[in-house]
Structure formats: structure tokens, C-alpha cells
């Protein structure tokens, strides 16, 4: 066989790395909807996670995060890598998540849905945010506490009381809308946050914003928006739904 000469050509698109839960069925599709393929390369790896989401199973993910991050292409230099779990970040700690991921993959930045949500809330100038969570109180309550620690008032929150991730991924968008509408009627709010990367939220955000007259944020929406901003992508290059899609991401 003749050895044919060739050239090396790097792809100029920024690379985004996503560490998603083994049981998550929603986030990859959402990211491919928000971030056009011609604007960035998206590489996905998965972290082992239990069928039931509890504080114990979430905390256990910290042990597997480094190995999962290391499974991203080692020759690639990433603009940003994200850990795609809101509750996991809250219980493990955003700083610890960053340290675990950064130690295992070459990346300029690390983010997560909690950090992204707080960044989006500040970018939009919000101060009173209601939370819709699919989970049981022991998983949902720490997210409220994290918001309040960051100076964001959470007047009220609603949860579906679900523990099984396969069921979370199948919660009807109409049920999500009903919960957000009920939440907005219970207390004066600046915005609603739909927490959980496994919830199917992207399609309901524009409708909810129109009905409620409030910004509506979700875990996947804010995470995609924040990652794109960290990677230097322009708002006009994205397909992020809602008022957030018109706001430039801040580092």
C-alpha cells in the first residue's frame, strides 16, 4: 500500500463538552436544537446515575465525574465543558464540580445549570424567581437554598414529587405549563425557573412567557446559553427560546 501524504486541518468551530446523566433523555436533543451544528462542535459523555434521584445517588455522582469527563476526546481542546445536572451541582457544589471536571479534560471553562441559572437571572436583572421542580422535597429544596444564598428571593416553589428519572423525562409539557401557571398565581414573581435537565421545557417557554408576562428560564436553556457565551458565540447564532435568547451571555 502506498502511503499518501496528507495535511492536518483543525476545525475552527469552538468545541463544547457535555457531561450528561446516564438516565437523561432530554438534554442532548435540546442542545442540538439551541446550538446549530455549523456554529460549534458538541461532544457528549455520560456519568453513571441511578434510576431514582435522591441526595445519596446525586452525591455518588461526584466519584464518577472525573472518569466521565476523561472520556471526552482527549486530543480536543474544549472552549467549555458542562456538567448537566441542576440538583447534582447543588448537592455536590459548583466549585467541586468545576475542580473534578477541570482535572480530567482540557477546557478553558467549566459550567453547570446552577451557575448558568444564576448568571442568567443576574443578566436579566431578576430578583424574585419561583421554581418548578419535578423532584421530592429533599432534592428540590437545596436548589431554593442555593438561589437564596446567591441573593435571589424564591417566594414559592412547586414540585411534582417524582423520584424516578424515566418518569421525569415523560412529564407532559402541558403539566409543566400548568405547574408554572399555578406557581405564578401564588406569589408575585419576576420570573419562573423550570429546574431539571430531563424536563421537556424548550417547547413551552415561549408560550409560558406570553401567558404569564414573565421571563421563563429552564435548566437546559440557561446551560446552553451560558456555554455558548463562554465559547464566544453570538446570540444571533443561537436558537435559545424566550427573552433569554435575546440577551448576550455574561461570563
Q: What is the pLDDT of residues 78-112, one digit of tens each?
A: 999 999 999 999 999 999 999 999 999 999 999 99
Q: Any idea what the CATH number is for the domain that residue 161 is in? A: 3.40.50.12500
Mean pLDDT for 149-166 is: 95
Looking at the predicted structure, is the pLDDT value of residue 251 above 70? no
pTM score: 0.96
Q: Which pLDDT score, from 0 to 100, does residue 248 have?
A: 82
59 three-state secondary structure: helix
* Same domain for 212 and 172: yes
Q: Which pLDDT score, from 0 to 100, does residue 250 have?
A: 61
* Same domain for 98 and 181: no
Distance of CA 30 to the CA centre of its chain: 10
* Same domain for 203 and 174: yes
* Same domain for 45 and 107: yes
Q: Which pLDDT score, from 0 to 100, does residue 146 have?
A: 97
Q: Which pLDDT score, from 0 to 100, does residue 96 have?
A: 96
Looking at the predicted structure, is the pLDDT value of residue 50 above 80? no
Cα separation of 210 and 157, whole Å? 20
54 vs 30 pLDDT, higher one: 30
Q: Which domain holds residue 135?
A: 115-219
Which residues, in sequence order, are CB contacts of 162 under 8 Å at separation 6+? 134, 135, 136, 168, 171
Number of neighbours of residue 121 by Cβ within 10 angstroms: 23
How many helices (H) and strands (E) would you count in the chain?
A: 10, 8
* Same domain for 229 and 214: no
| 251 in any annotated domain | no
* Same domain for 134 and 106: no
Looking at the predicted structure, is the pLDDT value of residue 59 above 90? no
Phi, psi of 111 (to 5 degrees): -140, 180
| 250 in any annotated domain | no
Q: Which pLDDT score, from 0 to 100, does residue 139 have?
A: 87
Q: Which pLDDT score, from 0 to 100, does residue 40 have?
A: 97
216 three-state secondary structure: strand
Residue with cell 461532544: 43
Q: Which pLDDT score, from 0 to 100, does residue 142 have?
A: 94
Cβ(72)–Cβ(43) under 8 Å?
Answer: yes
* Same domain for 107 and 78: yes
Q: How many domains does the chain have?
A: 2
Sorting pLDDT into bands at 50, 70 and 90, what band is 161? very high
Which residues, in sequence order, are CB contacts of 125 under 8 Å at separation 6+? none
* β-bridge mates for residue 84, sequence order: 20
| 81 in any annotated domain | yes
| 248 in any annotated domain | no
* Same domain for 103 and 180: no
194 vs 136 pLDDT, higher one: 194
Looking at the predicted structure, is the pLDDT value of residue 240 above 60? yes
| 2 in any annotated domain | no
Residue with cell 438534554: 27
* Same domain for 212 and 124: yes
* Same domain for 214 and 160: yes
Amino acid at each position: 500500500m502506498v502511503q499518501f501524504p496528507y495535511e492536518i486541518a483543525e476545525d475552527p468551530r469552538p468545541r463544547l463538552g457535555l457531561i450528561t446523566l446516564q438516565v437523561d433523555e432530554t438534554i442532548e436533543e435540546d442542545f442540538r436544537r439551541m446550538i446549530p451544528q455549523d456554529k460549534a462542535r458538541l461532544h457528549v459523555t455520560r456519568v453513571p446515575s441511578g434510576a431514582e434521584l435522591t441526595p445519596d445517588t446525586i452525591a455518588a455522582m461526584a466519584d464518577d465525574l472525573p472518569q466521565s469527563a476523561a472520556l471526552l476526546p482527549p486530543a480536543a481542546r474544549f472552549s467549555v465543558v458542562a456538567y448537566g445536572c441542576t440538583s447534582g451541582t447543588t448537592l455536590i457544589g459548583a466549585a467541586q464540580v468545576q475542580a473534578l471536571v477541570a482535572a480530567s479534560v482540557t477546557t478553558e471553562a467549566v459550567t453547570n445549570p446552577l451557575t448558568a441559572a444564576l448568571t442568567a437571572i443576574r443578566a436579566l436583572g431578576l430578583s424574585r424567581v419561583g421554581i418548578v421542580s419535578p423532584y421530592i422535597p429533599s432534592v428540590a429544596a437545596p436548589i431554593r437554598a442555593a438561589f437564596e444564598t446567591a441573593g435571589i428571593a424564591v417566594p414559592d416553589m412547586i414540585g411534582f414529587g417524582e423520584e424516578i428519572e424515566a418518569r421525569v423525562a415523560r412529564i407532559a409539557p402541558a403539566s409543566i405549563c400548568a405547574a408554572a401557571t399555578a406557581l405564578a398565581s401564588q406569589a408575585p414573581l419576576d420570573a419562573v425557573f423550570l429546574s431539571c435537565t430531563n424536563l421537556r421545557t424548550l417547547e413551552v417557554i415561549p408560550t409560558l412567557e406570553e401567558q404569564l408576562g414573565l421571563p421563563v428560564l429552564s435548566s437546559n436553556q440557561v446551560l446552553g446559553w451560558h456555554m455558548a457565551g463562554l465559547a464566544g458565540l453570538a446570540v444571533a447564532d443561537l436558537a435559545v427560546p424566550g427573552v433569554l435568547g435575546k440577551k448576550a451571555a455574561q461570563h
